[in-house]
Amino acid sequence: MESSDLGSRQQGPIWHRKPGPSARRGVIVNIIHSVKGYHSKTIRFLNVAFDSSGDFLLAGDHQGNIYVFDLNGNRFNLVQRTTQACTALAFNLRRKTEFLVALADYSIKCFDIETKELVSWMRGHDSSVSSISVHGSGRYAITTSSDTAQLWDLDTFQRKRKLNVRQSVGIQKVFFLPLSNTILSCFKDNSVFAWEFDTLHCKYQLPTPVEGSALLYKVFAVTRDGRIFVAGGKSNQLHLWCLESRKLIRIIQMPAKVRAVRHLEFLPDSFDGGSNQVLGVLSQDNIMRFINIETCKLLFEIGSHEEGISTAAISPNGRYIASVMENGSLNLYSVQALTQEGNQPPPPTFKVVEDWSKCRSEANKLTMRVTSGRSERPWKSKGSKIQSRLLKMQVNTSLENKENELPGGLNKKRLRTLLKGFGEYPAKYRTLSALAHWSAIFAETPYIPLLAFPFVKLFQNNQLICFEVVATVVVNLCQHWFEYFPNPPVNILSMMENVLAHHDKELLQHLIKYNVTSQVYAWPLLETLFSEVLTREEWLKVFDNIFSNHPSYFLMIVIAYIICSRAPLLHCNQIEDFEYFFHHRNNLDINVVIKEAYHLMETTPLDIHPQRVLDDFIPLTKGQYPVFNKYPKFIVDYQTQEQERIRQDEIEYLRERQLAHELEAKAQERKAEDEAWYRKQELLQEAEEQRRKMLLEEEEKLVEQRQRLAAVKRELKVKELQFLDASRRRFLKYQQDQRQMELKRLDDEIARKATMREQETAAALQDVEVQRMELESQRQVFEQVAEENLTKAEQKRIDANWRLRALHKLRGDDQDREKRYEEIAKLLHDNRVKEAELLKAMREAEEKTWEEVIQKKAQLEQEQKAAAAADEHRKQFLEDKMNDALELAEKLQREDGCFERPRDLKAGRTGRGVELQQVPRSGNICLNDLSPSQSSSHMSLDRRGEDLVLQERELMAEVRRLRQKLTSQARTRHPPARFPATKWTP
């Protein structure tokens, strides 16, 4: 185990070499924070918290130092010094770099780990904050103290709501449920309430736990999917609640050395979908035990009496466990190392045969049964039984005929697991397998194991006889049982209730008074075939009589059992008592029950007697078993399909899990290859460094040789210079006399040359000044040119901006114009719609007129036939008039555009009857095409034609006025758009 001392460092590596999966007791590193000086001491860690990814760990000590540990990057960093002890931490906010810390002054602060600055400071508690719960979105947080709980908005850091309770009650913990908008509040009086987060209305309250239980809830844990709620306290018991059904589903009893539970937390698994199965339980002996809540097996434990654990946190990815030890240090565990089978000690190779009686007595001593405080029977919750399991040593409970026993807790999952593991059912399950092969419904019926149990016990040495007896019982005694599958046989239960009402109405009224239905008092006896309430001898006696009578006798003996038990049943007033009564043995004379059943068979009226519904006893057919299909096949098929789908999903899940393991193995291999490559690169770098050093040494040697060569060259050069100097001196001495002779002449020449040199120097100075002036003038010219270029560039920029603004303005004008065009188009569309509506109304009026004309056509046919011969000349004249009228109508139609057959619209409005000539086959009726007056009672048809023409004109005028009115209303409602004057600019 590697130990790391933070000391006075503010950052650095956590470990120098990370241990592998075979680390001792799974500890990756032990972290301490010591202060060296005159008085050396260790600063104790108080709280730890993981972030949402599980790769970063936040830890705070009692001096207010907050450290962040990067477990993947192997780095730690001191992010804050609060100078106060922290009481709670939270590191899963919406902004990943921020965290919350509750301090000893009852305040909560929010810091940023990157900037190391204070983000916000929240106050409002009057006592120490014990826990901080953050919503799944990371936007809200609940802080809990002993007297209040407060809801905070982490975006504004303002308090939204506050939960106050009476001082006598007190709050244990308030937290968010995962994957939901529900807040769970747990109080010191064992009450648990669920609140809706949005409205803060109470959704439900969990019922009171086991009556008389001394367990007071102190610590709590919830699975990642928010379905299972676990509570513990000053006891070795754990209560498991199902939050969906709101019922206590199981009580787990820890070993006897556990007297109180201090902390609970579930261990996540990447493949369990949030329904965590492994629970970490920290007890008063400072040891944290991890158990499976389904199998109640102890998987592993961390901590010891010498190195006790104060508190712990588990990473969300399920890879690490961080625990604060009693000595103030911080231990980081690897879950992979803890769960690896290689770390478990091998089983002993030396075993001793022990006496069975001693072994059984010792097992009984280790077994502690959970009771509810009643002396007669355990308490049961409504609708389901509480399963009480013990964490104990597994000791064989029988030595003889172990394979022939059939426990009462059979379920389909166990059967499938056994079939998958062994390829076949054990002998005690073959009867059920045979029933399932006989008919598919028996594989889906949950009470078939209970029904077959007594026959399996009776015929344990002959499975064939057992199967045939059970099949005979199903065919005869279970008639009409499966018609309402998967529900109990409601028809049979109703029939039994009618018989009970006839023979003992008072008892039935008593059962109805306390909401005890036939599914409580009759169905348990039917589905178990009395195996729970009778001894072996009593059961054999009862079934001797059942097999010797009509199948209805089986129902009668159930009713007789209830009637004979009326005295204790009338004293029961709780549904739990009734349930217990019909699931356990009672002090009852079975002979009296049998006699009462015969009495019921004889005295029950035929209209309610079960004999009229049930068939006589029929044995199994010879040669092959009968077909059993008296059940809703579609339900069984659907359940079979669902199970097959689940099996395929499980196979797919296992395949994906195997693929994940392979990918992980490949990742490990790739990681090893990368590490090998990095090692090779390091070796290459070292070799390269050595080569560079050798090159440097060679270069130094070469430089030394060059220096020696240069020294030799300098010596030769000095000697050469000395020789030349001696020769020069001799030559100078030879010429000295001649130079003295010419000295005077040279002095004159020197004076003359000095004068000339001064003149040339003055001329050169003048030339330099002229060049400087030319350079200055050129610089000024260049500056003017640059200014002109800048002016031109600025002018171009101004022009470009002006053109750009002009283009923007033109584009805006175009958009406004397009909007107005769209409004005009919309107005035109509305006008067309209204004209279409007007045209539709006119067509309806026309159709109505045509209907009236057709009705009157039948009345005029007889008169037209009588006057046909006398009116040939008149008919020709009227046809000419009709053609003229049609041409006039077509002209009006072309003028108006939305009117057809205008002359026919007034026909339905006339208050008097109109007699018409025979309608032409073309379907067009002319108002002038009327027969002359044939009797004194008819008016002149010509005058009526003139009246119709006048009415047509009035109708056309009215239509035009209506169109003008609609047009004016449309213009008033949508005035024409006025376009501003626009001007195109270049």
Q: Tokens 């019926």 correspond to what residue?
A: 445
Q: Is the pLDDT of residue 975 over 70?
A: no
pLDDT of 360: 40
71 three-class SS: coil
- The model's pTM is 0.41
Q: Position 462: which residue type?
A: N
Nearest partner of 86 among 68, 109, 70, judged by Cα:
109
Q: Is the pLDDT of residue 348 over 60?
A: no
pLDDT tens for 418-432 read 444 444 444 445 666
Q: Is the pLDDT of residue 962 over 60?
A: yes
Going across the sheet that includes 140-144, the strands are 131-134, 140-144, 148-153, 158-164
Q: How confident is the model at residue 910 (pLDDT cuts 50, 70, 90)?
A: very low
Average model confidence (pLDDT) across the chain: 77
Q: Tokens 């004194």 correspond to what residue?
A: 936
Cβ neighbours of 371 (radius 10 Å): 14
Q: Is the pLDDT of residue 345 over 80?
A: no
Q: Tokens 């950052």 correspond to what residue?
A: 11
pLDDT of 68: 93
pLDDT tens for 367-417 read 333 333 333 333 333 333 444 444 433 333 333 333 333 333 344 454 445
CA distance 797 to 791: 10
Q: How confident is the model at residue 959 (pLDDT cuts 50, 70, 90)?
A: confident
Instruction: Specify the DSSP element, H or E, that contains 944.
Output: helix 941-973
Q: Position 833: which residue type?
A: V
| Pair 326, 308: CB distance under 8 Å | yes
Instruction: Specify the DSSP element, H or E, that contains 668.
Output: helix 633-741
Q: How confident is the model at residue 881 (pLDDT cuts 50, 70, 90)?
A: low
pLDDT of 898: 45
CA distance 275 to 76: 33
pLDDT tens for 266-311 read 998 876 666 788 999 999 999 999 998 888 888 888 988 888 999 9
CA distance 198 to 213: 35
Examine residue 378 and say whether the peptide bond preceding it is cis (omega within 30 degrees of 0). no
Mean pLDDT of 613-627: 78
Q: How confident is the model at residue 38 (pLDDT cuts 50, 70, 90)?
A: low
CA distance 111 to 121: 9
pLDDT of 396: 37
Q: How confident is the model at residue 801 (pLDDT cuts 50, 70, 90)?
A: confident
pLDDT tens for 882-904 read 677 677 766 666 655 444 444 44
Could you tell me which residue, 817 or 909, shows the higher pLDDT? 817
pLDDT of 773: 86
Instruction: Specify the DSSP element, H or E, that contains 967.
Output: helix 941-973
Q: Among residues of the chain, what percentage have pLDDT more than 70?
A: 77
Backbone angles phi, psi at 550, to 5 degrees: -65, 150
Nearest partner of 174 among 166, 165, 162, 183, judged by Cα:
183
Q: How confident is the model at residue 980 (pLDDT cuts 50, 70, 90)?
A: very low
Q: Is the pLDDT of residue 452 over 70?
A: yes
Q: Position 429: which residue type?
A: Y
Q: Which two tokens stand for residue 882?
A: 């009709």
Range from 66-75, 216-225, 333-342, 447-456 carrying the lowest mean pLDDT: 333-342
CA distance 287 to 289: 6
CA distance 471 to 400: 28
pLDDT tens for 139-175 read 899 999 988 899 999 888 888 888 877 767 788 899 9
pLDDT of 57: 92
pLDDT tens for 478-516 read 888 877 777 788 888 888 889 998 988 888 888 888 888
Instruction: Specify the DSSP element, H or E, that contains 637.
Output: helix 633-741
Q: Assign residue 381 a region (left: φ > 0; alpha: ψ between -120 and 50; beta: otherwise).
A: beta
Q: How confident is the model at residue 626 (pLDDT cuts 50, 70, 90)?
A: confident
CA distance 588 to 562: 11
Q: How confident is the model at residue 48 (pLDDT cuts 50, 70, 90)?
A: very high
pLDDT of 280: 93
pLDDT tens for 678-711 read 988 999 899 889 888 998 998 999 999 889 899 9
454 three-class SS: helix
Q: Among residues of the chain, what percentage have pLDDT more than 90?
A: 12
End-to-end C-alpha distance for the chain, whole angstroms: 83
Q: Is the pLDDT of residue 26 over 70?
A: yes
Residue 623 makes CB contacts below 8 A (sequence gap 6+) with: none
Q: How would you label 267-281 residue by residue, b for 16+ Cβ within 10 Å and e otherwise?
A: bbbeebeeebbbbbb
pLDDT tens for 638-676 read 667 777 778 788 888 888 888 898 899 889 989 998 998
Range from 80-84, 427-431, 711-715 carrying the lowest mean pLDDT: 427-431
Backbone angles phi, psi at 709, to 5 degrees: -65, -40
Q: Position 381: which residue type?
A: S
Q: How confident is the model at residue 364 (pLDDT cuts 50, 70, 90)?
A: very low
Cβ neighbours of 171 (radius 10 Å): 20
Nearest partner of 172 among 204, 208, 225, 133, judged by Cα:
133
Residue 985 makes CB contacts below 8 A (sequence gap 6+) with: 806, 810
Q: Is the pLDDT of residue 833 over 70?
A: yes
Cβ neighbours of 310 (radius 10 Å): 19
Range from 166-170, 585-589, 594-598, 715-719 carrying the lowest mean pLDDT: 166-170
pLDDT of 560: 92
Mean pLDDT of 127-150: 90
Q: Which two tokens stand for residue 804?
A: 């750009």
Q: How confident is the model at residue 855 (pLDDT cuts 50, 70, 90)?
A: confident
pLDDT tens for 525-535 read 888 888 888 88
pLDDT of 283: 92
pLDDT of 58: 93
Q: What is the DSSP string of 557-606?
A: HHHHHHHHTHHHHHT--SHHHHHHHTTS--S--HHHHHHHHHHHHHHS-T
Could you tell me which residue, 777 or 918, shows the higher pLDDT? 777
Report the greatest alpha carbon distance in the chain.
Answer: 185
Q: How confident is the model at residue 39 (pLDDT cuts 50, 70, 90)?
A: low
pLDDT of 318: 86
pLDDT tens for 731-786 read 888 888 787 888 888 778 888 888 888 888 888 888 888 888 888 888 888 888 87
